[in-house]
Amino acid sequence: MSFRTPGPHPPLILDDIRGAQKMLSGVARTTGMEGSRHLSSLVGAPVHFKCENLQRTGSFKLRGAYVRIAGLSPVERAAGVVAASAGNHAQGVALASSLLGVRSTVFMPVGAPLPKVAATREYGAEVRLQGQVVDETLAAAQEYAEETGAVFIHPFDHPDIIAGQGTVGLEILEQCPEVRTVVVGIGGGGLAAGIAVAVKALRPDVKVVGVQAAGAAAFPPSLSAGHPMALDAVQTMADGIKVGRPGDLTFPLVQELVDEVRTVTEDELSSALLLCLERAKMVVEPAGASPVAALLSDPKGFRGPVVAVLSGGNVDPLLMQRILTHGMVAAGRYLSLRLRLTDRPGALAALLATLSLADANVLDISHVRTDPRLGLTEAEVELHLETKGPEHCDEVAATLRSAGYLIRV
């Protein structure tokens, strides 16, 4: 079975992906499949994680990068390769180039997380920090390619890249032959397009669902228009799928083969990442958690068994800390309150005793007596509490009110 790819490229066919799978033997890991009892209970059918977060370099990107660079001619290899990326593609190109003995230069934004910059260098690439946003970095890389003759390795819009990513689809069918739905995050569309080509060629009955961050959802308007459309702005913490325009090659494949594209919010991404860490013991970046976010937001909207592709696990520790805090808030695990007390000895101790009865853990407390808005005998207390979920938040607030406290926030 073949599918159209526009321009001078030949159609992408299943044999291309099978050829890529042979090429990647001994290079890319056949990543594991892990079941999720929690999501299975919500969905009402088995849910499995395809753990590309445990792939070499921490994401699926090695697959496409290796296939693309391995397909270069000797003359092209001698000229070296260049790429632009904030993280995952950078590391995939760096390692693939090192394995193939090709010189690589990777442009990264000035503000790229230091662990990703360090990892890219350790994999053997020359890293150049240029541009404040990825678009500026991309332009710098393309200019370098024109000046030096180095081959530009696009992160998603090339048949070899798509074929390499499509090997994930072959593995899913081999590891979970009973699968009925595959859920995968979409940025530029390389992974979703590759998986869809493989899955639909062998199992046309399997539904492929793409997931985008709501702040970077270029595919829904593009699909409505019938051609790729660029967003005016993109804003999401999921940098792995933070792409403002579908690829010219990936778009028609997604249009033809992906059954549905859903969007998820930042709160849903945070909650999904928290679930992966707490329940599955998986370190997953926000883009990799997007399929989980889709399942959590509408668990009954998926026909099982379901395979959710955890596409990557490269997350900066500082970002992880912020995301987990955000996820705890979104999941109702934190509660912030402001209330007023009579300013007398023992009043604060009595408040803390009430909170203890409500089984709320105090994370932070601020006790103010000098605000001019306060009465002569008043003090204001701001509390940040750790709770057990939304119902417990309501119980804590109710306990305080029943004890006579007036909650301001």
- Known catalytic residues? 61, 311
Can you tell me the distance from the alpha carbon of 285 to that of 274, in angstroms, rounded to the nearest whole number? 10
Can you tell me the distance from the alpha carbon of 225 to that of 197, in angstroms, rounded to the nearest whole number? 22
For 13, residues 6+ apart whose C-beta sits below 8 A from its C-beta are 1, 2, 3, 197, 201
Can you tell me the distance from the alpha carbon of 334 to that of 406, in angstroms, rounded to the nearest whole number? 19
Residue type, 11: P
Query: Cβ distance 266 to 10 under 8 Å?
Result: no
Q: Tokens representing 53?
A: 């977060």
Using DSSP's 3-state secondary structure scheme, residue 12 falls into strand
For 365, residues 6+ apart whose C-beta sits below 8 A from its C-beta are 381, 382, 383, 384
Can you tell me the distance from the alpha carbon of 62 to that of 45, in angstroms, rounded to the nearest whole number? 31
Query: Cβ distance 22 to 15 under 8 Å?
Result: no
